[in-house]
Amino acid sequence: MFQTLYSYFWWERLWLPENVTWADLEDRDGRVYAKASDLYITLPLAFLFLVVRHLFETYVATPLAGLLNVKEKIRLKATPNAVLEKFYAATTKHPKQVRGGGAPKGARRGWGRANGRAGAPRHGGDVPAAPQADVEMLSKKSGCTKPWFYDLREVWKGYPIQSMLPSQYWYYMIELSFYWSLLFSIASDVKRKDFKEQIIHHVATIILISFSWFANYIRAGTLIMALHDSSDYLLESAKMFNYAGWRNTCNNIFIVFAAVFIITRLVILPFWIMHCTVVYPLDLYPAFFGYYFFNFMMVVLQSLHIFWAYLIIRMAQKFI
């Protein structure tokens, strides 16, 4: 049964155009092609990233934060209160706002005194005391001098018989390993408002990267990853300046980040890149399952971009 499912999953008509087989993508004459087995290395690399992140946060980020005068917030531990804990467990661990009418009066008074103000949320105790450093370890040079980086019709020239560049191999392995590490660590990280959307994003990204690799969509995949990565540095920089208390610098960088995010993900991605992946392939071969699957996952990512752009614009309006 397993062998049957395996055969159906790797059926060539699912992932490749007509008249193309996996044998056509075997290495020959010095040309190397992407293979699904290449992706196995990303799992041990993901755990390596987790180790590197831990070491970086412990021995680099934390001492550097001290030099920048980033101090841990002192949080007073609430006095144990059985009535309060029962109310807390019966409602939610992540209330939007604690209002006076919800919790029992005695519990509210004790809760407020323990946290320094009346009605202070108990869930503050669930938040880590110090901000966690974000570790972005991504390669950016993956064929940017090639014609298909500028002429999007070149993305599909000769597809799927397109050999890969060494830089593309490492870009894919590092990027996919990085997103595996994010997915593995998301349960232990701070749970933000967009927790569910982050999980959907990580899963969709892992699926997209993996599929684009073994179906040899690597030219389109390289463009999409580079486009997504272009705004991440600005966001991480804004976070660090915010932790350091440099509010004006943080706000200015965030405004630039918002502009880059909107231009790359709400303009370039849908009107250039997605146009490239939806329209141009049909000039070369009839649509097949892999074509629909790839573009469906792109629509999922684009929907998340619209959601995040809405939040980003609201924050940018406050800064302005």
For 94-110, write each residue's pLDDT tens digit: 554 444 445 444 444 44
- On whether residue 37 sits in a domain, the answer given is yes
Are 102 and 234 part of one and the same domain? no
Please name the amino acid found at residue 253.
I
Are 45 and 176 part of one and the same domain? yes
| Residue 163: closest CA among 32, 26, 296 | 32
Lowest mean pLDDT among 15-19, 38-42, 146-150, 201-205: 146-150
Q: Which long-range contacts (CB under 8 A, 24 or more apart) does 118-125 make?
A: 121/95, 121/97, 122/78, 122/84, 122/88, 122/98, 123/88, 123/93, 123/94, 123/95, 124/75, 125/75, 125/77, 125/78
- Token pair 């196995």 is found at 40
Strand, coil or helix: 31: strand
The span from the CA of 263 to the CA of 6, in Å, is: 41
- On whether residue 139 sits in a domain, the answer given is yes
The DSSP symbol for 60 reads I
With beta carbons less than 8 A apart as the criterion, state whether 33 and 27 touch. Answer: yes
The span from the CA of 63 to the CA of 167, in Å, is: 34
Are 87 and 165 part of one and the same domain? no
Task: Enter the tokens of residue 238.
Answer: 């804004």
Instruction: Tell me the average pLDDT across 13-26.
Output: 90
Give the Cα-Cα-Cα angle 234, 41, 136 (nearest 5 degrees): 10
- On whether residue 6 sits in a domain, the answer given is no
Q: How many domains does the chain divide into?
A: 2
Q: Which domain holds residue 93?
A: 82-116
Are 282 and 138 part of one and the same domain? yes
Are 268 and 307 part of one and the same domain? yes
Q: What is the pLDDT of residue 67?
A: 82
Are 91 and 240 part of one and the same domain? no
The DSSP symbol for 73 reads P
Are 148 and 185 part of one and the same domain? yes
The span from the CA of 155 to the CA of 244, in Å, is: 43
Are 226 and 262 part of one and the same domain? yes
Are 59 and 181 part of one and the same domain? yes
- On whether residue 45 sits in a domain, the answer given is yes
Are 171 and 55 part of one and the same domain? yes
Q: What is the pLDDT of residue 142?
A: 47
Give the ranges where the chain is alpha helix by DSSP (H): 2-9, 12-15, 42-56, 62-67, 82-91, 105-115, 166-185, 195-214, 218-229, 232-243, 247-262, 274-278, 289-319
With beta carbons less than 8 A apart as the criterion, state whether 24 and 112 touch. Answer: no
Instruction: Tell me the average pLDDT across 48-67.
Output: 90
Instruction: Tell me the average pLDDT across 186-204.
Output: 82
Q: What is the pLDDT of residue 240?
A: 84
Task: Enter the tokens of residue 60.
Answer: 């680099």
Number of C-alpha atoms within 13 angstroms, CB side, residue 65? 19
pLDDT digits (tens, 9 = 90+) for 131-181: 443 333 333 444 567 888 888 999 999 898 999 999 999 999 999 999 999
- On whether residue 124 sits in a domain, the answer given is no
With beta carbons less than 8 A apart as the criterion, state whether 1 and 132 touch. Answer: no
CA 177 to the chain's CA centroid: 12
pLDDT digits (tens, 9 = 90+) for 255-289: 999 999 999 999 999 999 999 999 999 999 999 99
- On whether residue 122 sits in a domain, the answer given is no
- On whether residue 76 sits in a domain, the answer given is no
- Give yes or no for a cis peptide into 160 (omega within 30° of 0): yes
Q: At what angle do helices 232-243 and 247-262 cross, to 10 degrees?
A: 160
Computed on alpha carbons and rounded to an integer, the radius of gyration of the chain in Å comes to 24
- On whether residue 20 sits in a domain, the answer given is no
Are 170 and 291 part of one and the same domain? yes
Are 189 and 220 part of one and the same domain? yes
pLDDT digits (tens, 9 = 90+) for 196-229: 888 888 999 999 999 999 999 999 999 999 999 9
Task: Enter the tokens of residue 108.
Answer: 């509210």
Residue length of the chain: 320
Give the ranges where 10-165 is alpha helix by DSSP (H): 12-15, 42-56, 62-67, 82-91, 105-115
